[in-house]
Amino acid sequence: MTLTTGTRLGRYEIRSQLGAGGMGEVYLATDTELDRTVALKILPTQLASDQQRMHRLLFRAASLNRCGADQRFSMMVR
């Protein structure tokens, strides 16, 4: 699923693709509610449907919130 500049996913607006690989695609985006730059990771369907892998990914994402930086994560399922 390659997204183009200007595509909206909920509150996020895609600016550019940062990378892609077996774990999904990463995009530079704008959080339009908080007016800040974020990185979005779009997971392939087979990864998103694996509960064990999703648990590990969410655990890693939550650990970013404990780094002391103003970082947050959210999850959207399409």
Q: Which of 73, 42, 43, 76 is nearest to 59 (CA)?
A: 73
pTM of the model: 0.75
- pLDDT score at 50: 87
Q: What angle do CA 71, 36, 32 make, to 5 degrees?
A: 120
- pLDDT score at 63: 75
d(Cα 48, Cα 43) in Å, to the nearest integer? 6
- pLDDT score at 33: 92
**Least confident stretch, 8-12, 21-25, 40-44, 74-78:** 74-78
SS3 69: coil
Query: What is the per-residue pLDDT across 46-60, written as a single tens digit (0 to 9) for each?
Result: 877 888 988 888 887
d(Cα 30, Cα 41) in Å, to the nearest integer? 13
Whether 13 and 3 have beta carbons less than 8 Å apart is answered as no
